[in-house]
């Protein structure tokens, strides 16, 4: 059985080998890359990305990256394309063919059909002199000297190179489009990343109950309010304005210091000028405030009036933390 050191050594060699190949890609960039990006940017159609085998898997990932960053893209399997799926390609679409060798049978059948339809074609290939390389309008050179596989057979470094070329395309297009964090949120509304960009404090606090007491409320009333509203806190308000806060911790400290609490009221144990946040602030801003001040709740305001509570657990539930 291989030793732990042997396994780690193999892993490090794999990473080093792929890192070296990726770095070399920058030396292979030509004007074709810039022209291909410009072509896609100016196109009125979509980007159709095709490949076979492992290249097809990479094509799917590039499609996902382009779609999520503002460039409409569709995956078309090279084998399916020559059996009916060519109908996916519309007049203004740009086609990207991915193939390490550029000479696979499916590519040799597919490429002439694309050329006949007069769609512009971009090749991502490790062999610029291949059939695909010779037929493409633009070549994005993804050459690698050797796979990370010790037998130089399993697609490893070559597929990594293809993926990096795809990422480079996507980021260049993103910058040309001026694609912002707000745009990103539109395409990722359900994920944690998107929520950090669009979810507001009011979206969370509105789902909670709204604990509040007044200055003269008794300690019993304070305890009942905190218990019933289940947020571990209550605001102390006067004419809808926040003037203080009482937490579970305040109650425990009160009990440890006082034997007779019957005469105490909310104003005797509250903390004045509590941390607060506007309901239209971003939820991620609430997270940063809680982390900065070491607290788990924030009182929420709307137009200067008390509007509710946002709790650390709300942020955890939504994946903000």
What residue numbers does the annotated binding site for Zn(2+) cover? 77
**Cβ 136 vs Cβ 121: under 8 Å:** yes
Cα angle at 207 between 204 and 211, to 5 degrees?
Answer: 100
DSSP 218: B
What is the C-alpha to C-alpha distance for residues 297 and 280, in angstroms, rounded to an integer?
Answer: 16
Question: Of the candidates 61, 66, 69, 68, which has an alpha carbon nearest to the alpha carbon of residue 46?
Answer: 66
Per the structure block, which two tokens stand in for 106?
């499916």
Beta strands across the sheet bearing 233-238 = 212-213, 233-238, 241-247, 271-272
What is the C-alpha to C-alpha distance for residues 170 and 36, in angstroms, rounded to an integer?
Answer: 11
> What is the SS3 assignment for 208?
coil
DSSP 75: E
Residue positions in the annotated binding site? 77
Phi-psi category of 319—alpha, beta or left, where left has phi over 0 and alpha has psi -120 to 50?
left
What is the C-alpha to C-alpha distance for residues 121 and 138, in angstroms, rounded to an integer?
Answer: 7
Q: Which residues contact 227 (CB under 8 A, 6 or more apart)?
A: none
Parallel/antiparallel/unpaired status of strands 233-238 and 271-272: unpaired
> What is the SS3 assignment for 260?
coil
């Amino acid at each position: 059985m291989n030793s732990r050191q042997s396994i780690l050594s193999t892993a490090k060699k794999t990473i080093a080998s792929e890192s070296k190949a990726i770095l070399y890609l920058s030396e292979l960039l030509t004007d074709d890359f810039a022209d291909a990006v410009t072509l896609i940017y100016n196109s009125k159609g979509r980007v159709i990305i095709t490949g076979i085998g492992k290249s097809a898997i990479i094509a799917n990932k590039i499609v996902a990256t382009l779609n999520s960053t503002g460039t409409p893209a569709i995956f078309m399997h090279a084998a399916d394309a020559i059996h009916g799926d060519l109908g996916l390609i519309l007049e203004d679409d740009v086609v990207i063919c991915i193939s390490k060798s550029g000479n696979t049978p499916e590519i040799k059948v597919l490429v002439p059909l694309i050329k006949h339809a007069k769609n512009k074609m971009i090749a991502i290939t490790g062999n610029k002199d291949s059939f695909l390389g010779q037929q493409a309008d633009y070549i994005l050179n993804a050459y690698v000297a050797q796979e990370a596989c010790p037998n130089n057979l399993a697609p490893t470094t070559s597929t990594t190179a293809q993926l990096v070329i795809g990422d480079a395309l996507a980021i260049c297009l993103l910058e040309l489009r001026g694609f912002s964090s707000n745009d990103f949120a539109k395409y990722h509304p359900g994920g944690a990343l998107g929520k950090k960009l669009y979810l507001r404090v009011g979206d969370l606090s509105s789902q909670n109950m709204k604990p509040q007491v007044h200055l003269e409320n008794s300690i019993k009333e304070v305890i009942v309010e905190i218990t019933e509203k289940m947020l571990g806190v209550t605001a102390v308000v006067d004419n809808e304005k926040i003037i203080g806060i009482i937490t579970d911790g305040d109650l425990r400290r009160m009990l440890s210091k006082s034997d007779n609490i019957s005469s105490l009221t909310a104003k005797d144990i509250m903390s004045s000028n509590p941390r607060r946040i506007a309901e239209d602030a971003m939820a991620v801003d609430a997270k940063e405030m809680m982390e900065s001040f070491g607290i788990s709740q924030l009182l929420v305001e709307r137009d200067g009036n008390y509007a509710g509570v946002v709790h650390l657990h709300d942020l955890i539930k939504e994946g903000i933390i």
